[in-house]
Amino acid sequence: MLSKSAEYALRATIYIALKGSEDNKLGIDEIATAIDSPQYFTAKILQLLTKNNGVVSSVRGPNGGFYLTDAARKLPVRAVLEAVGEDGIITKCVLGLKECSESRPCPMHEQYRYIKAQLRQMFEKTSIQDLANESGKGKIVINNRQIKTK
């Protein structure tokens, strides 16, 4: 469905939105641990997210780390996908034809168009903050570990 890069990008962004703020910046080690992702690889992905679309903000040095601005929180989830170059899921043909259009549809186009429209809706109408809010709720998780029963 999505690439590993995109998956980590989404999980990392959600985690930063949930736990981070301008005066509580999060380190890469904390983030990678929290979302069960390979640390160095995640660092690369966060670099993309800071460079593209201004999804994530960062500062170096002591007390540095990653956080999201208020503006970034309002961005659609699609912005995250775009930042890692993975929005093909809502633009391309299911059968891999070079173009997906009404004028030159593949045999699945008619059926897939509705699903694609819903995928687009989901990624465009949902904001990063929306996901963070969702994530704050009881049983919602962004990693593979056992739920803490404490």
Task: Report the 10 Å Cβ neighbour count for 67.
Answer: 20
Q: Which is nearer to a copy of itself, 60 or 139 (CB)?
A: 139
- 102: which residues sit within 8 A by CB, 6+ positions away? 109
Q: Give residues in contact with a copy of itself (CB under 8 A).
A: 1-2, 4, 7-8, 10-11, 14, 77, 88-89, 92, 94-99, 103-112, 114-115, 118-119, 122, 126, 131-132, 134-135, 139-144, 147
The verdict on 28 binding DNA (CB under 7 A) reads: yes
Residue from 27, 95, 99, 140 touching DNA (CB under 7 A): that is 27
Q: Which is nearer to a copy of itself, 60 or 137 (CB)?
A: 137
CA 16, CA 14: separation in Å to the nearest integer? 5
Q: Residue 57: which H helix or E strand, with range?
A: strand 57-59
CB of 1 to DNA, least distance (A): 11
End-to-end Cα spacing for the chain: 34
